[in-house]
Structure 1
């Protein structure tokens, strides 16, 4: 696949992902630790907006600070679509005639620059998809094209600080490429309420636990077998946590793993206590959470054994 087609496919997929962002997801975390969803999208749209003047022969000095700041406005999806179309139209002729562009590090072949853009769209498209809980599968042909180009440039990127440490251990081509770009293919977005809930359980702080749950929250306990008990509403749920911490000798909750995907989360935990013989006993279990308006609306608990 030629580089113009690689760029077109990668940029169109990115536009599709931007259109899927819900209004409440723009400040969601992404695999780029310092960027939320809006910052990530603004970065890529900025690259597309830069593509047009650079392909026309302008320098970075010519463009100046005209593309600094927010480029998304009130309609990020339309801003991304418009910028992508303009960039796609701008790259074809310079690449076909073997033109050059002037980048921050000097003069570069237009085709090489478009490979860089295609790679950035592909990887940041994955970043965006996993951040918003969308389908994160990448076009295999685009993955192969970018991987072939990147294999001789990976250490240059890493040495320049453009990517993080390589993550190894993947046979799938898409995952291997993400690992080469310093991504963990198993990354999932965190959620403040899930993290704060885990911290509150670790402290045994019932007030802090309930602060992360909705007024109409639901809790299903692990006993009695086989279905547990169901408690509805904040008052009923609060009473269960109060009894647990008051009646259990030296209770301790530890979060072992938390995975968030959209409005659902799964948390693996270990609960331990001091037994009559002085030894600590424990069980391991899983909570299936439903999130609503930034809080935990439902906590369904399951335990091993």
Structure 2
């Protein structure tokens, strides 16, 4: 279990900034970009944005006590205006996480298996690091630079260092690939990418 060393209000602030950065990136995705490959090797950019949208709704439902319902993790894919739908989903999860009393709650996370639950700080930390990395995924797919602010990069690294690197990462549908070697990496965000199975030089 992840040991959170970030205060709840600080975590919410970092999380909101990371998610809002992805809103701006998704707004730059044009219809002709949707077939582009992404660092998530099994997904096109269209599929990645759909996944990101659905996960927002699922985690929002979990924060409201409904994460044990499989259907909340199976939202229909975004329509023609993918950026507007993504923004709605992002605002939904931000509002759900910031609601009074959420910090002490237990999230049911049916997406991760029947009966899986996690304390709110653990669940929000996992969502946070996922969207810092997904921001990079979208940016790299579009050929854009991406460098999270230093405090976001440091917090993401602290979470990534605690993500287990076991055989489950090689299974189909795993959220992260096996960690990549990179003992010489000194940049916090590069280290996060390597720990979570991303090559900082993708697609090279």
TM-score by length of 2: 0.83
Q: Which runs of 5+ in 1 are unaligned?
A: 189-258, 260-305
- The residue that corresponds to 1:187 in the other structure is 202
Tell me which protein shows more helix as a share of its residues. Answer: 2
SS at match of 1:65: helix
Q: How many residues align?
A: 185
- The residue that corresponds to 1:256 in the other structure is none
Aligned-CA RMSD value:
1.9
Aligned pairs for 1:43-54 (under 5 A) are 43-54=51-62
User: In terms of Rg, which structure is larger?
Assistant: 1
Q: CA deviation at 1:97?
A: 4.1
Q: CA deviation at 1:25?
A: 0.6
Q: CA deviation at 1:94?
A: 5.8
Q: Which runs of 5+ in 2 are unaligned?
A: 1-5
Q: CA deviation at 1:143?
A: 1.2
TM-score by length of 1: 0.57
Q: 2-side partners of 1:9 and 1:138: how far apart?
A: 10
Say if 1:180 and 1:82 are closer, same or farther in 2 by CA, change over 3 A: same
2:176 is the alignment partner of 1:171:
no
* 1:165-218: CA deviation from partner (whole Å, max 9, x where unpaired): 322131211111111111110012xxxxxxxxxxxxxxxxxxxxxxxxxxxxxx
- The residue that corresponds to 1:89 in the other structure is 95
Q: 1-side partners of 2:160 and 2:193: how far apart?
A: 11
- The residue that corresponds to 1:73 in the other structure is 79
Aligned pairs for 1:187-206 (under 5 A) are 187-188=202-203
> Quick one: higher RCO (CA 8 Å, sep 6+), 1 or 2?
2
Contact (CA 8 Å) 1:30, 1:131: kept in 2 or not?
Answer: yes
Q: CA deviation at 1:95?
A: 6.3
